[in-house]
Amino acid sequence: RTQDTLLEVNNIEVIYNHVILVLKGVSLNVPKGGITALLGGNGAGKTTTLKAISNLLHSERGEVTKGSILYRGERVQDLNPADLVKKGVIQVMEGRHCFEHLTVEENLLTGAYTRPDKGAIAADLEMVYTYFPRLKERRKSQAGYTSGGEQQMTAIGRALMSRPETILLDEPSMGLAPQLVEQIFEIVKSVNENEGVTFLLAEQNTNVALRYAHYGYILESGRIVMDGPAADLRENPDVKEFYLGMA
């Protein structure tokens, strides 16, 4: 473990329903201050990996049966998700998951629920609005009636309201037009640079993810088949052929 590793996943195995082996020994390192991408096609196990880290598998009858997950060197796989949030790790689920009947602003405020310092919350709301000016315009709208892109922004904004050290971001590009995808990744990049937030993001869109991430892991059928600095992966002939469609 290097000194600046925040999150360390060591050779984990995940089984659903006691029989379906989905992760077959996945290891990865997430350094502090970086953007790390977990890449791979549909069903490769990206979501399962993120849920294993944030302990969200139980409700789906999944469990980590081997390996370990450490955050700042401390074993976290037996914590409940709320305790992990207190340690600074928050997951933005695939498919955005806003509270549809609440306004955009109310959604953002729910992200601050674990925090005692109510005074700082107003300032953080403004911080979120500087990254997402569109959300400020839409703050009184019912979230369920906002666009897919706005809901994705709301989900990320809500995560930021907990002042996380690390965000686990599941498939931010899903269902969004290319221009919006680019916009979301630009915001991720500036949050990373300006707030120092560490990201682990799961993405099927290899092309965009490798342009913004510093390091990438490629998952195939529950195994990491390749990893390296994003710049190297972009130039790798196999990645070009199978993931970037540039054969």
Query: What SS3 state is found at 14?
Result: strand
Interface residue with ligand ATP among 12, 26, 36, 46 (CB under 6 A) is: 46
Q: Does 42 bind ligand ATP (CB under 6 A)?
A: yes
Interface residue with ligand ATP among 16, 99, 129, 242 (CB under 6 A) is: 16
What amino acid is encoded at 110 in this protein? T
60-89 residues in contact with ligand ATP (CB under 6 A) are 60, 62
Q: Does 162 bind ligand ATP (CB under 6 A)?
A: no
Kindly report the three-state secondary structure assignment for every residue of 115-155. CCCHHHHHHHHHHHHHHCHHHHHCCCCEHHHCCHHHHHHHH
Interface residue with ligand ATP among 40, 149, 157, 216 (CB under 6 A) is: 40
Q: How many residues does the chain have?
A: 247
Q: Does 47 bind ligand ATP (CB under 6 A)?
A: yes
Q: Does 173 bind ligand ATP (CB under 6 A)?
A: no
Provide φ and ψ at 210, rounded to 5°.
-75, -15
Provide φ and ψ at 178, rounded to 5°.
-50, -40
* CA-angle at 155, arms to 23 and 181, nearest 5°: 80
Minimum distance from residue 36 beta carbon to ligand ATP (Å): 16
180-209 residues in contact with ligand ATP (CB under 6 A) are 204
Q: Which stretch binds ligand ATP (CB under 6 A): 14-22, 148-156, 157-165, 232-240?
A: 14-22
226 forms bridges with which residues in the sheet?
218
Per-residue contact track with ligand ATP, 84 to 113, x per CB under 6 A?
A: ----------x-------------------
